[in-house]
């Protein structure tokens, strides 16, 4: 009996001591930092991004939307890593008549082995500061019927309805295409579905390439880059675009008789010193349309640079289309306010990869780090 009593007293004493230590540890823990989301009366996120979350066998990606001005972030949805790694992300939102917002993110995954490419979507709403699901993550395009067909870069239209993307078959085909997302939700489309529209193809098959599609801020133009290899003399690359019908609002039936016509904004054949660029995005600054592009730099990163579209469209020789290197970074995109969201540059390995580590915001004056995250993409379009 005494032995049992002793064991009970010893156990109680240990538990009390542990409780005292834990309680004091909690009491001494500094209070959490102020949550920037708490002071907001409404939430109109500027960009979307993801983080790698979860541990062990349950590895996940978690998508967020965030406000570039104060760093407020709100979780959207978790996505299992079992569906493949994320290789592209695009975000768009529209304001509705009742003051709410409808948002959509799309992302592309690569699943190996097998060379499987899948494009996913997720739809949500924003009412005040509340973010709610409209539809669980869904796949709307893949290459399961033919894994030789591929998709690389892509961009979601300002009205959320249409995806512009680069499609190719290695050594055989390359094109800039667009597809209505909702038309592919019920029955998943192939990457070269007849529900899509080919906007541009190489003039010289296997000697030219196309890449980096980007919607204009008004949703009536798609930009892209055309280049040539050593098979063509002289080598060149061009910044080109296709204008869609005026007033087009994403209704696919309006494009049945539309024949795309390519136009060139700038070409190294006419302006040989124009630097090589990639990662095109469009936006509005002081009521003028600009493009932001990435220019390669010796640092292994790149200069994020601006192109004034109106200046480039003037055909007089003295008005050359110029780029203005602004700051180091990667993966730029415009917010509706004309800020540039990007992968923030800092010293260290792999910082300038397309995945990035930190989200940066350029407000026209300075660059600031906003938060940790991967592949940020701003909801562009008109203010």
Say if 188 falls within a structural domain.
yes
How much of the chain exceeds pLDDT 90, in percent? 58
User: What count of other Cβ atoms lies within 10 Å of the Cβ of residue 106?
Assistant: 24
Domain total of the chain: 1
Under 8 Å between Cβ of 14 and 6: no
Residue 25, exposed/middle/buried by CB under 10 A (0-12, 13-18, 19+)? exposed
Q: Which residue has the tokens 């190996």?
A: 112
| Rounded CA separation 336/58 (Å) | 36
Tokens describing residue 275: 């630097």
DSSP codes joined into one string, 87-109:
EEEEEEEEE-TTS-EEEEEEEEE
Nearest CA to 74 out of 96, 113, 101 is that of: 101
- Average of pLDDT values for 174-201? 94
Could you tell me the residue range of the domain that residue 293 belongs to? 34-378
Residue 349, exposed/middle/buried by CB under 10 A (0-12, 13-18, 19+)? exposed
pLDDT surpasses 70 at 249: yes
Give the model's pLDDT for residue 339.
96
Give the model's pLDDT for residue 30.
44
Q: Which of 121-125, 218-222, 348-352 has the lowest mean pLDDT?
A: 348-352
pLDDT surpasses 60 at 333: yes
Say if 13 falls within a structural domain.
no
Say if 7 falls within a structural domain.
no
pLDDT in tens, 103-137: 999 999 998 778 899 999 999 999 999 999 999 99
DSSP codes joined into one string, 152-204:
EEEEE-TTSSEEEEEEEETTTEEEEEEEEHHHHHSSPEETT-TTEEEEE--SS
- Average of pLDDT values for 286-293? 95
Say if 28 falls within a structural domain.
no
Say if 20 falls within a structural domain.
no
pLDDT surpasses 50 at 296: yes
Say if 292 falls within a structural domain.
yes
CA 263 to chain CA centroid, Å, is: 25
How much of the chain exceeds pLDDT 70, in percent? 86
CA separation, residue 265 to residues 48, 84, 237, 271 (Å): 29, 37, 11, 11
pLDDT in tens, 179-188: 999 999 989 9
Give the model's pLDDT for residue 3.
44
pLDDT in tens, 21-55: 333 333 333 444 578 888 888 899 999 999 988 77
Nearest CA to 45 out of 383, 379, 381, 357 is that of: 379
Tokens describing residue 122: 């997720």
Q: Which residues contact 77 (CB under 8 A, 6 or more apart)?
A: 62, 63, 122, 124, 133, 136, 137
CATH number for position 289: 2.120.10.30
Q: How confident is the model at residue 347 (pLDDT cuts 50, 70, 90)?
A: low
Say if 266 falls within a structural domain.
yes
pLDDT surpasses 70 at 4: no
CA separation, residue 342 to residues 34, 223, 267, 329 (Å): 25, 19, 26, 7
Say if 1 falls within a structural domain.
no
State the average pLDDT for the chain. Answer: 85
């Amino acid at each position: 009996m005494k032995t049992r009593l002793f064991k009970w007293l010893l156990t109680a004493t240990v538990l009390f001591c542990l409780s005292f230590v834990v309680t004091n540890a909690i009491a001494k823990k500094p209070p959490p930092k102020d949550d920037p989301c708490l002071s907001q009366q409404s939430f109109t996120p500027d960009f979307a991004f993801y983080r790698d979350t979860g541990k062990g066998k349950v590895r996940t990606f978690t998508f967020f939307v965030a406000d570039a001005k104060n760093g407020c972030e709100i979780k959207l949805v978790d996505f299992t890593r079992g569906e493949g790694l994320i290789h592209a992300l695009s975000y768009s939102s529209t304001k509705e008549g009742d003051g709410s917002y409808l948002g959509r993110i799309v992302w592309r995954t690569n699943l190996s082995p097998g060379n499987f490419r899948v494009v996913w979507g997720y739809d949500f709403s924003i009412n005040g500061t509340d973010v709610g699901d409209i539809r669980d993550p869904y796949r709307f395009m893949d290459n399961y019927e033919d894994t030789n067909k591929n998709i690389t870069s892509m961009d979601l239209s300002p009205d959320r309805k249409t995806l512009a993307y680069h499609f190719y078959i290695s050594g055989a085909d390359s094109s800039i295409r667009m597809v209505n997302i909702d038309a592919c939700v019920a029955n998943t489309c192939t990457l070269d579905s007849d529900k899509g529209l080919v906007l541009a193809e190489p003039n010289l098959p296997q000697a030219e390439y196309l890449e980096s599609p980007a919607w204009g801020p008004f949703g009536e133009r798609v930009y892209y880059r055309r280049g040539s290899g050593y098979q063509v003399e002289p080598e060149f690359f061009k910044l080109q675009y296709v204008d869609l019908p005026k007033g087009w609002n994403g209704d696919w039936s309006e494009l049945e008789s539309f024949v795309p016509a390519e136009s060139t904004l700038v070409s190294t054949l006419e302006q040989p010193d124009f630097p090589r660029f990639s990662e095109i995005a469009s936006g509005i600054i002081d009521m003028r349309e600009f493009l932001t592009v990435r220019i390669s730099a010796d640092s292994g990163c790149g200069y994020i640079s601006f192109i004034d579209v109106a200046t480039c469209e003037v055909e007089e020789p003295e008005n050359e289309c110029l780029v203005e290197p602004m700051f180091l970074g990667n993966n730029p995109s415009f917010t509706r306010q004309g800020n540039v969201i990007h992968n923030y540059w800092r010293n260290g390995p792999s910082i300038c990869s397309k995945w990035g580590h930190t989200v940066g915001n350029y407000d026209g004056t300075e660059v600031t780090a906003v938060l940790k995250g991967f592949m940020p993409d701003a909801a562009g379009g008109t203010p």
